[in-house]
Every structure is written in structure tokens, then in C-alpha cells.
Structure 1
Amino acid sequence: MIINLDMIQSACAGVLIFLLGKKIIDWIPALNRFCIPAPVVGGLLFALIHLIGRQTGTFSFEFSNELKDFFMVTFFTTIGFSASWKIVKSGGWAIIVLTIVSVICLVGQNLIGSTIAMAFGENPLMGLCAGAISLMGGVASSAAYGPTMEAMGMQDGTLIAISAAVFGLVAGGLVSGPLARFLIDKYDLLSKAKIKDNINTDNIDYENLETGEEEVSVMNVNNFTIGFFMLIIAMGIGTIVKIPLDMIIQKINPVASLPIYIGPIIVAAIIRNIGDAKGKEMPINEMSVTGEVFLNIFLAMTIMQLEVWKLIGIAGPLLVILLVQTIVLAIYDILVVFRANGKDYDAAMMVAGFYGYAMGATPNAIASMNAVQERYKRGSPKAYFAIPVVGGFIIDMLMPFFLLTHAGLLV
């Protein structure tokens, strides 16, 4: 029996799956400790139920994805509105260093993934799906770029990328905190940090810097309306901006095309920075809340549609790629990220945060830094500012260029 869900029913199913995931996380604290998102939990459970139904021949689902794409584009447009040059500039050298090491890592993850994939005789694009798309990019990036990889010839690219992203979420939660603890204890960084407190060598007050996306406790209806309208306008103009960009990309690679959110995210970033230059207040918090809600629905709708039975043939090579990525990233974090950020307590906190978002997602990074802070009773304003700025939107802005360049070279 095939159960067909229309546009509204598919969106409703996504919301219900998300709510189910939240309830399961309440029941199983370990899921919250590793920052596994509710849409991932609920979506994977539904995907497994779908697998059972399909394999037994009792039931199967068909979904409509019009609203899923709308939710995705809206979320990424909110990322564009957070891309303030004023904020990046205020972070100083820490933002620059973290961005450089992140870009190097992004390229490295793609090289590792594609090399191992080719060694197994698989499509090298599989390596990108198990590389920066899923690890540095996370679940949302996997769901967004999976169809692009499929259009370029990687069968089941979305399934592979999201599966790798889920692996990365767990690995990021398991490894990042212990890495920071190892460095702090090995080099006695806590004691050195206390000594350094008496010598102010950093002229940037990271503790009082704001990213423009502070926690929202009360929503202003007028601001929410204005913010939502701004999102729709940026999305509409962005669809037009994407057309010439696709033409340029297709001159390099005829089968390539940019993800549908690229135009909107560029337009949103331009609007945000024009507003900053003119001193205009924007409802960034309200837009951020909208993006978070739509992201949860989009992820739930994407993950619940995963055809996990297709993973059987590639499970071995995929697992090898991910295990190598896990080990290499840990080595890179210690040898490069730690040293590049000053080899002090702040640098160790950056190590935890960097591994969290380079292997999983920015919430992983924050949770890992929180765990380190709880253990040593000392925070790091520098890390808490730099990690979300770089992991939260700078990398999202740079990702398309590097991914499509790598994909074009491999194809």
C-alpha cells in the first residue's frame, strides 16, 4: 500500500516528526548531551519505520516537497541576514584565524573523502558527501547540497550526506570535549590563564561583543512581520540573482547548478550590510527565530524521507571515510587550530568549539565548550564569540564556492 501525502500533509508530518523527536530527547538525556537535534531523532525513527514497511511490503510513503524547499530557503536567507561585516570586523584577529583554519579544514575534508572514495572504486562525489558537505556543513547543508550532488551524478547523494552528518554529530559530541581537556591538563593552561588575568594583553572585549542574534524571550509582532516580509523579499530577488550565477557556473561545468538558496542568502547579506552602514535597526532576532522554526521542519521532512535501504551497498566505504575524517580532524585540531590560536586556555576552548562544528554543527560546538567550562569553572568570551560567528555564518557563506569548485574538478 502506497500512502501519498500532499504538500500540506507532508509539512504536517514534518512538524509531528519534529515534536516526536523533542519528546524522545526528553526521555533519553544522552541525546541532548550529544546535541542530537530533534528533527534528526524523529526523522530517523520514521525512516526506520518506513524501511520496515517497505521491506515487508506492507506500506510505503510518497511525499510532496514544495513546502520543504520553501522552509530550507527561508532558513538560509536568515543566515544571510546574520552575515554582518561589522560583526566580523569587531572580532578582530580571532575571526580571521578561525576562518583560515576552517577553510583549510573544509578543503582537507573534501580531499580525504574523495581520495578514499576513489580508492574503493566509488564515485569521488561520495567523498564530498562524506566530507565538508556533511561534516563542516552539517545536516542542513547535507539536505541542501545532496540534490546538487545527485544532479552531478552522485546517486543517493542526499542520503549519504545526511547519514554522514548524523555520524558527525555524534562524533563531534564525543571527541571535542576530551580534546580540550587533554590540552588544558597537558599544558597546565588553567593556571597560566589565571596568571594572565593580571596582564591584559587582549584589547578586544569579546565578552561584550554581540553577534546580533541574542536569545529572544519576547517577540515583537510588528518586528516579526517586518522581518518575515524582508525574508520573502530577499528570497524573491534572490531567485533572480541566482540565474546569472548559474550561467557562470554552467560555463565551467554544464551539469552543475547552485543550491536554490544561494541567491537569497547573497541578497540578504547585502541588505544587512547596507542597513549596518546606514545605522538601520533590523529585526534580526525575529528573523533568526523564524529561521530556526523553518529549519526544524525542513530537517524533519528531509530526514523522514531518507531511503535508508540504499545505504547497504556503500556502508563499508562510507564508514572508512568517516572514521578517517574523525581521526584526522582531531590531529589537525591539536597541531594546527590550537597553535594558530595562541596555545593558551582560550585556544583549548577554541579546539573544543572547532571540532564541534567542523565535525557536527555549531550547537555541538557550544555544548562542548559548555562542558569544558563546567569542568574548569572558567569560560572563554573569545571562543564563545568567534566560534558561532565563523561556524554559524562565515563558513555557510564560503561553502558554495569551495564545494562546487571541488565537485567540478572531480566530475
Structure 2
Amino acid sequence: MIIKVDMLQAVGIGVIMFLIGDFIVKKVKLLQKYCIPAPIVGGLIFALIHTIGVKTGTFTFQFDQTLKNFFMIGFFSTIGFTASFKIIKQGGIAIVIMLFISVIMLVIQNIWGITIARAFKLNPLIGMCAGSISLMGGVGTAAALGPVIEANGASGGLTIAVASATFGLVMGGIVSGPIAKYLIDKKGLIKKAKEEEKSENGKEKDFSEHHIENDNHDTIKTNDLSKGFILIMLAMSIGSVISILINKTGLVFPAYVGAIFAAAIIRNLADLRKISLPQKEISAVGSVFLNIFLAMTIMSLEIWKIARMALPLIIILLGQMILLALYSIIVVYNFTGRNYDSAVMSAGFYGYAMGATPNALASMTAVVDKYNRPSPKAFFTIPIVGGFAIDLTMGIIVIGHMNLILSGSL
């Protein structure tokens, strides 16, 4: 039996599955600990039910996902609104270094995934789905770029990307804290930090005075909410034109790239004119869009298609864990100053490069609480790079990799 679901019904089911997932997450502390989003939980429940229907031959769903793209583009436009170059300038060289380090790891994640996929005679694009798309990118990027990968011949790419992103969320929360502990204890960084404080030449830039917008959504103003929604629609409209112009170059780019650029332009023009945008309200709308988009994406996963890819996927993801841990300890720590702040940033880097920025912040909080020593530099730098700076570059790099593969150059 084929159950056809139109676009409005698909949104309704997505909302219901999000609410179910939200209820479960609030009841299960383990899901809260590893920052597993509610739409993933609810969406996977529906996907598993769908899988049972398909494998037993009793029922299957056909979704009209037209509105999913609307919510996806709307969410990614809200990332563009956070791309304030004024804030980036506050962090100076620390932001630049961390972004550069992140981009290099992004490429490494793709190369590792592609290499193992080819070793198992799989489409190399599958390797990218278990690379930066899902790990550095997170669940949102995995859900957005998975269909692009599938459209270019990698069957099961979306399911692989979402599964890898979920794995990354868990492992990002588990491994990042011990990385900082290892560095701090092995290299005696607490003692060194105290010695630096006593030295006149040991003073570093005080990041505690720098400002990042408060993302507290507890108080939302109706007028500002309307303004925020209108700005998002404006960015999406302008972004569609930008995307058309980009695609005329012959390259394949996801639809949300134009919206990110449009929103970033609006944000920085507002900064120049000293116009305050309703950032809190824009972020709140973006959160709603993301939840619906993820729920709709994950509930339509065709889990039954990826059984034969289980072994290569495990090898790719275990390799990613090890490579990222070594990179955090050797590269991130050394290039960010070889001090206490560097150790905390190494934990934060692993958190967002394997999972998501909330994982990074949770891990860094656990580290500074354990050693009873703050790290304002880390708590300023990591959210900016992991929260939006890497997202601005990821789409271009990932799609560049994909086009090189499709052209036979990689």
C-alpha cells in the first residue's frame, strides 16, 4: 500500500515527530548529555516505522517535500545574519588561525572518507557524506547537502550523512573533554598559566571584554519577531537570485548558499549604518525552521538502503575520530599558543569538528569547571568559528570537492 503525503501533511507529520522527539529527549538524560536534537529522535522513530513497512511489504510513504527546502533555506539564512565582520575583527588573529585550522581539517575529513569509500568500491561521494558534510557540518548541513550528493549519483548519501552526523554528536561529547585534560595535565598548563600571570610580559589580550550577541530566546518581542521574519524572507528572496547567478557558472551549489550570502550582506550593511537587527528573534525563527526541516528530512530516510555500507562506514568514522583527536592535540594546541587556552580550544575544536558547537561549549565548560579556571579566549573564539565562520566556507569547499570528483580530477 502506497501512502501519499502532500506538502502540508508532510510539514504536519514533521511537527508531530519533532514534538514526540522533544518529549523523549526531555525524559532521557543520555540524549540531553550528548546534545542529540529532538527532530533526530522523532524523525528516526518515523523512519524506522517506515522501514518496517517497506521490508514487510505492507506499506510505504511517498512524501511531497516541497516545503522542506523553504525551511532549509530559511534556517541557513539565519546563519548569514550572524556573520558580523565587526565581531570577527574583535577576535583578531585567533579567529583567523582557528578558521584556517578548521578548513584544513575539513579537507582531511573529506580525503579520508573518499579514500576508504574507493577502497570498498563505493561511490566516493559516499565518503564525503561520512566526512566534513556530517562531522564539521553537523546534522543541519548533512540534511541539506545529502540530497545534493544523492542527486549526483550517490544512492543512500542522505542516510549515511545523517547517521554519521548523529555518531559525531555522541563522540564529540565523549572525546573532547579528555583531550583537554590530557594536554593540561601532561604539559602542566595550570602551573604555567599561573607563572605567566606573575610575569609582566605574560599578559594576553583580554577576551572577556569582547561581545557576542546573547542567544537567550526567553524574551521575544512581537514587533521584532515580525521584523526578523521579514528580513529572513528578504534574504531568501535575494539569495535565490544570487544562487541563480552562481549556478550559471556551471558549478553545482546547494540552494541555501545564496541565502547565507544575502543575509551576511544585510547584516554587515546594518553594522556599517549602526542599525540594530532583531538578532534574538531571527535566531528564534531559525531554530523553528531547523527543527521542522530536520524532522521532515530524517523521517524520510531510507534506512534499508545502507546495510551493505555498514563496514566501510564504521571504518571511516573510527578513522575520523582518531585523525581528529591527533589533529586537535598536535596541530590545534600548537598553533593556538601552547597554553591553557589552547588546551581548552582543542577540546572545543574537537567538539564542533566532530559534532556541533553546543557539544564544544559543553565540553569546554566541563574543562574550566574541573580546573576552576576560566578561558574567555576559548569561549569567544570557538562559538564564532564553529557557529558560523566555518559554515560560510563549508558549502564552497564541499561542493568544490564534489565537482572535482564528478569531473574525474579527484
TM-score of the pair, normalised by structure 2? 0.95
2:256 alignment counterpart: 261
Distance 1:106 1:269 in 2: 22
- The residue that corresponds to 2:229 in the other structure is 228
Matched, 1:12 2:12: yes
Determine if the alignment matches structure 1 residue 162 to structure 2 residue 188: no
2:310 aligns to what? 315
Please list, as runs of the form range in 1=range in 2, the aligned pairs for 1:174-253 lying within 5 A after superposition.
Answer: 174-199=174-199, 201-202=202-203, 204-248=205-249, 250=250
Shift of 1:378: 2.3
Q: How many equivalent residue pairs?
A: 405
8 Å Cα contact 1:213-1:288 kept in structure 2: no
Partner AA of 1:15 in structure 2 = V
Is 2:381 the counterpart of 1:377? no
Structure 1 position 199, deviation (Å): 4.8
Query: Distance in 1 between the 2:138 and 2:61 partners?
Result: 26
Distance 1:41 1:348 in 2: 32
Question: Which whole-Å deviations, capped at 9, do the CAs of 1:114-170 have from their partners, x for residues lacking one?
Answer: 111111111111111111111100111011111211222212221111111111111
Contact 1:35–1:367 (8 Å) recurs in 2: no
**In 2, Cα distance between the equivalents of 1:293 and 1:112?**
34
| Alignment of structure 1 residues 285-364 onto 2, 5 Å | 285-364=280-359
Give the match's secondary structure for 1:108.
helix
* Structure 1 SS opposite 2:248: helix
After TM superposition, give the deviation of residue 363 of structure 1 in Å: 1.1
Change (3 A) 1:4 1:385: same
Q: What RMSD, in angstroms, separates the aligned Cα atoms of the two structures?
A: 1.5
Residue 109 of structure 2 corresponds to which residue in structure 1? Answer: 109
Q: How many Å separate the matches in 2 of 1:338 and 1:276?
A: 33
Distance (whole Å) between structure 2 residues aligned to residue 389 and residue 269 of structure 1: 14
Q: Which residue identity lines up with residue 350 of structure 1 in the other structure?
A: M
Normalised TM-score (structure 1): 0.95
Deviation at 1:26, TM superposition (A): 2.1
Q: State the alpha-carbon separation in 1 of the partners of residues 189 and 59 from structure 2.
A: 57
Residues 261-280 of structure 1 aligned to structure 2 (within 5 Å): 261-280=256-275
Structure 1 position 279, deviation (Å): 0.9
CA deviation map 1:2-23 (0-9, x unaligned): 3222222211211121121122
Deviation at 1:100, TM superposition (A): 0.8
Q: In 2, Cα distance between the equivalents of 1:217 and 1:126?
A: 40
Shift of 1:59: 2.6
Task: Kindly provide the amino acid, as one letter, of the partner of residue 159 in structure 1.
Answer: T
Mapped to 1, the partners of 2:80 and 2:348 lie a distance apart of: 22
- Asked whether the equivalents of residues 76 and 256 of structure 2 are also in contact (C-alpha less than 8 Å), the reply is yes
Amino acid at match of 2:55: Q
Secondary structure in 2 aligned to 1:4?
strand
Structure 2 unaligned residues grouped into runs of 5+: none
Distance in 2 (alpha carbons) for counterparts of 1:389 and 1:72: 21
8 A Cα contact 1:82 1:213, kept in partner: no
* Displacement of 1:62: 2.1
CA contact (8 A) 2:196 2:203 kept: no
Is contact 2:95–2:385 with CA below 8 Å preserved after alignment? yes
Instruction: Give the Cα separation in 2 of the matches to 1:82 and 1:44.
Output: 30
What amino acid is aligned across from residue 76 of structure 2 in structure 1? F
The one-letter code of the counterpart of 1:320 is I
Q: Give the AA of the match of 2:151.
A: A
CA contact (8 A) 2:252 2:403 kept: no
Query: Which SS does the other structure have where 1:82 is aligned?
Result: coil
Aligned to 1:129: 129
Aligned residue for 1:3, secondary structure, equals strand
The equivalent of 1:389 in structure 2 is 384
Q: Is the 8 A contact 2:197 2:203 kept in 1?
A: no
Secondary structure of the structure 1 residue equivalent to 2:3: strand
Segments of structure 1 that go 5 or more residues without pairing to the other structure are: 251-255
Q: Which amino acid aligns with 1:268?
A: A
What aligned pairs does 1:32-181 form with structure 2 within 5 A after superposition?
A: 32-181=32-181
Shift of 1:350: 0.5
8 Å Cα contact 1:160-1:311 kept in structure 2: yes
Aligned-residue offset at 1:213: 4.4
- How far apart are residue 28 of structure 1 and its match? 1.6
Give the drift of 1:198.
Answer: 4.1
Read off the aligned partner of 1:309 and give its amino acid letter.
Answer: W
Task: Describe the superposition over 1:264-291 as per-residue Cα deviations: whole angstroms up to 9, x where unpaired.
Answer: 1111101111111111111111101110
Shift of 1:202: 5.0
SS in structure 1 of the partner of residue 81 of structure 2: helix
Contact 2:10 2:65 in 1 (8 A): yes
CA distance in 2, matches of 1:303, 1:97: 35
Q: Distance in 1 between matches of 2:172 and 2:21?
A: 20
